[in-house]
Structure 1
Amino acid sequence: MEGQRLGGRYQLESRVGGGGMAIVYKARDLILNRPVAVKVLRSQFGTDEDFVNRFRREAQAVASLSHPNVVGVYDVGQEGDTHYMVMEYIEGCTLKEVIIQRGALPVEEAVRIAEQICDALDHAHQNQIIHRDIKPHNIMIGKNGRVKVTDFGIARAVTSATITHTNAMLGSVHYFSPEQARGGITGEKSDIYSLGIVLYEMVTGELPFSGDSPISVALKHLQEPLPEPRQVNPNIPQSVENVILKALVKDPFLRYASAREMLEDLETCLFPERLNEEKLTFPVDEEMTRVVPIITPEMMEGHTSGRTGVGQRSRHEPSEEDEDDKPPKKWWVKALFWVGGIGLFFVLAFFGFNFLLNVFPSIPEVPVPYVEGIQVELAEDKIKEKNLVPQIVEEASDTIEKGMVIRQDPAPPMRLKEKAVVTLYVSKGQEQIDMPNLVTLPRATAEETLKKNGFKLEMVTFVEEEDDKAEVGTVIKQSPEANEKVYPGKTSVKVTISKGKAFVRMPDVRGKSVEAAQVELFKKGLGVGEIKEVPTYTTDKAGEVLSTHPYDPGMQVQKGVAVPLTVSNGQYPQDAKSAVATVYVEVVPGETVEVKIEVTDARGEAKVFQQETIAENKEYDVPVVLSPQKDAVVRATVKRQNDTEFRDYQTIPISYNSLP
């Protein structure tokens, strides 16, 4: 399913885990743009109505939990036959992976993890939610060290039929409580037992009970004594072992009364005054020597926390007086009594079962008829013929004619009990709405607004456009306009998104007058900032632009920027010196000579002062400007009639320091 989109918003990216009942994918919520984990039920459970209904109810209940140590449930949905749950994505690994990699954990770390699991269970139990599948595989350890309990409700939703189809339940048998293995009622104390197994595994690095088959492990939970943790790891403080022993006592009435009580014990078990406390002991466990009946809710109500009060006698312990008064019985009498009692129990159970069948006959199941694509009146008749109850839900449709059934829930080959409800989604035809106003909205909000109003995102075109005023990423234009009447399902929408102010290439205005530079800048959408006049060697023309720093020619500049101009004030700097060099060129009578005179001084390199053709001798007075850093050189070259290029004629150097 990688690459598939569920619910129109969850894009499945990669598989990150899975079990017998579900596969977990890392996905991205395209609307909120965040990573999520999506648990998708395997296809063989999608047609089990009882399982699906329980799954939905449990998922909705778990979604109501809000606790820092519980993986949050964001959404539950169905697409076709695919049922999925959207959860918080945790970047990290499972507690099982940590134990496999590191073995036994330090006691302090194990207690800290157990405290967080216990806190999560206490919150769930207060909300009447029992986990029923606490194990290290369902405990996530985030990169920040935060412990997260996951898979709430999934184990509870498993039916007897699904147990034979999945290894998920069998894989959890190492963490079963005795009452779970026995098939009795499972409640808060079953979760406490499972947490005790998890804590045992964390501090010892191994499980207390193992075997060749799930049945053998379950029997050990029922019959064998718990291998004491300190015999496996002597470094475990006695106080921590006491917590484990109390959580793992086989009689649920002797365990912690609640997860809150266990949490309070965990919070103090590492206090120095408790580390060497006396070992906790319990009454002799008769689980190993007798067959224990299934625990019923009435038995649970008849007990409190498992402790007997002063002056009260435990139900498991007869008084000494009673023992003395009773005459000794022969072993065969007791055996006969037990055999007769068990036989009587089965006889009564058989007749009771048949009596209940006669008094409360089972409701027959009927197949759900297929009614999609037909008139609603005819569809209702077909549903009623099967002794089912139709429920009509109208919704707009751009493709289905008014009054026709768009879809049904459930659909064939599903079977339902008689008088069950079948929901028919009936078209009320195309429905016009007012086009929502998207202008000024961020793109993500605009997409969500369109989706909520029934628009198909594949029919929405987003384009980007430069805008000098709107913030980047916001809508600046839309088509159709706001409040126009449209059909959401078939109207194409064009949304223009601002990508901010435009950028232009900085023109080169150096050497131009201020007025000419302003014209060039205005053409590009740029303004003129501060104009600063300075003396310069490069020109003697007042108002000539010297620099546009920091916006150099050719660079990309945002429209609207005010460009500062540095211009000449028409004067040389105060330390400048001026001089005149005389160049005399002689010409042979009857010839012509081409003369070129170049000046290198503080104003620049090899600037041509004069270039002309003469037929007689001529003298040139060449002005030069010198600075403390730059001397002057006047170079004259000539090209006579028979020459192909200019030849050096005269070079006159002038030093700054030689001038007064």
Structure 2
Amino acid sequence: MIGHELGGRYQVIERIGGGGMALVYRAHDILLNRNVAIKVLRNQFVHDEEFIRRFRREAQSAASLSHPNVVSIYDVGQEDEIHYIVMEYVEGKNLNEIIKERAPLQVDESIRIASQICDALDHAHQNQIIHRDIKPHNILIGRNGRVKVTDFGIARAVTSTTITQTGSVVGSVHYFSPEHAKGVTTGEKSDLYSLGIVLYQMLTGVLPFLGESPISVALKHLQEEFEEPRLLNPLIPQSVENVILRSMRKNPDERYQSAKEMLHDLETCLLPERRSEAKAMFNDDDDEDRTRVIPAIKPLQRGLGSRGGGDDRGWREEEAASPGSGKAKRGRAVLWVSLTLIILLAMGGVVWYVNAKLVVNEVAVPSLTSKSFEDAKTALSEVGLIAEEPPLQVYNPNYDSNIVWKQSKNPNTMVKEGTHITLTVSTAKVLPKLPELSTKSYEDAVKTLIAAGVEQGRISQDPRFSEDYPEGQVISSEPAAGTEYDPETATIKLIVSQGKETTPIPDLVGSTQQEAQAKLAEAGLVLGEIKEESSFTVDKGKVMVQWPYEKGDTASPGEKINITVSTGYPPEALEYTFNVPVTPSSKGKKTKIRIIYADARKDGENQEWGIRTIAKNQMLSVNLLLAPNKDGSISVYQDGEFIATYTIKYADAKNGTVPQPELPTEPTPVPTQAPTDVPVTSEPTIEPEILPPSTDNSGNTGAVNQTGFVTTNANDKGKK
């Protein structure tokens, strides 16, 4: 088939599956340029005209279905002896593969899958189509999680024509309904029974009925009870188990009446108010398919009589063979009649005696619920009944341990004395163990607990810093994983990682080394590498730079922060004191003198030296910091008017050749043009509190700068 082109448009690419009736191939629809799945009947069925006729009719019926959870059928065709159906191609896996890989599935995932299957069945049933072969192999799960039910129509054709073929059983006996196993007409409720088995298998990972042969499995569907799913998986909520119990009732009348009714139950069974509902109970007394024990009846030994006795036949033969006198004949007759009467009387006595011994009085079954097993046993003994031992033990949340909550015969039912009554007593609640949650995120852990029956209001989180767990992941739980807990009452605390603990980085720039170390210690950080560099802008001993973290960054406690400390001005820096001659605007008049300077320091452009009020000619000393690439300049203002600018070159200052202006002789110097980069429109409104060092008329000043350089002035005559 591979490489073959069916119908002139379907190029067969590869085989992707197959079953007892057909093989499935992936093909490419050349006309519509899409992948399709083609199901081809096996060769052994191509000559069965009745099967082919029904196969086509049912495939055409299935093609009428249009539902997002049903695999769409695109085409039905025949080419020579090849009968095929063209269907939607679903990329993904079938449910049987998923169950084998990771069963039991999560409760919410199982309910989601079962709900989509049930929705598909509801659509099919409304269109008078019964699937009849619901099983995980026919459920496809796409990569997007969409559930698709396939093989609609083929199942009906199979079961209606080939179920009795010699030497084979067509269909999936593990998912048969009891009526299917009997061979009677199956309907919608048969599909719901099969869906219940699929849900059972998803939640427990096993099938409810297993056997050595298909016949033995079919008999178990008819006669035996399956193990309740919560006994295999305690994480299944009672409401979900009730869905399975009802859908798998052997009597179809006790199942869901429609797929819509079952779908509603599936959609609501995980609601918080339903999770702890009471277990669904059913009356098995009238179940005809239930296994019954019938005592053997031994036939009574019949005596010799006129109907079968050998003597009677011999007498008749003798009478016929020896016709004697009438008198002898009448004598023998009287004898035999007498013997017959005696035998009949004896037999009547025996019958009366047997009846007297076999007839048993009937008594009413007492009400035994809410009694302890011992009390119930005594109550049965008082009326001549027997309690079956040991009793059935099944947990019931509404009854204490060892209390009867179910009896095999209803109260006031009339039964023979000596009848055995089966009692069901409640056991101590089987508590599940808290699962391991430390590999999950907080959201996934909450979903797991909710699926297990824990209300979200009883789940809390405790955020903690962690070096080993990423942010948002559960570190541990209280109670710990593996501890028994009651999902209906337990309060669960999840310890959740906040990631690594961090602390804000303080600003160290401008601090001394000791101050920086104290700030880091207060923040839980450690002082790391310390470098030293010269600086024109940062005072000696102060932090210039911090790395690798700056102010506003965050780091883990104990992280090392490195700093660079200023060693003061570089060796080539030169401090120079320039004496500025100033004079009042008129002799004896108080005049405000404003000085602005620029040098190599940070923000060295247009720095305010200050304002001095003078009434006589004098020299004002201005300390400058010069560098090889940065000269100094001083601008003087008199009552807000620009007077003069002095430029001090680094080379001249170093060599002691800076020109020194003379003290003016005229009261008011002639103004020159003000420098364009110096604001001259107004003067500061507030005089500085700290004035520059005073000088006398000789201009002698002396100071030691921060680097230890000796300042020079114009009177040093070039000496440093």
- Taking structure 2 as the reference length, the TM-score comes to 0.40
Q: Which has the higher strand share?
A: 1
- Taking structure 1 as the reference length, the TM-score comes to 0.44
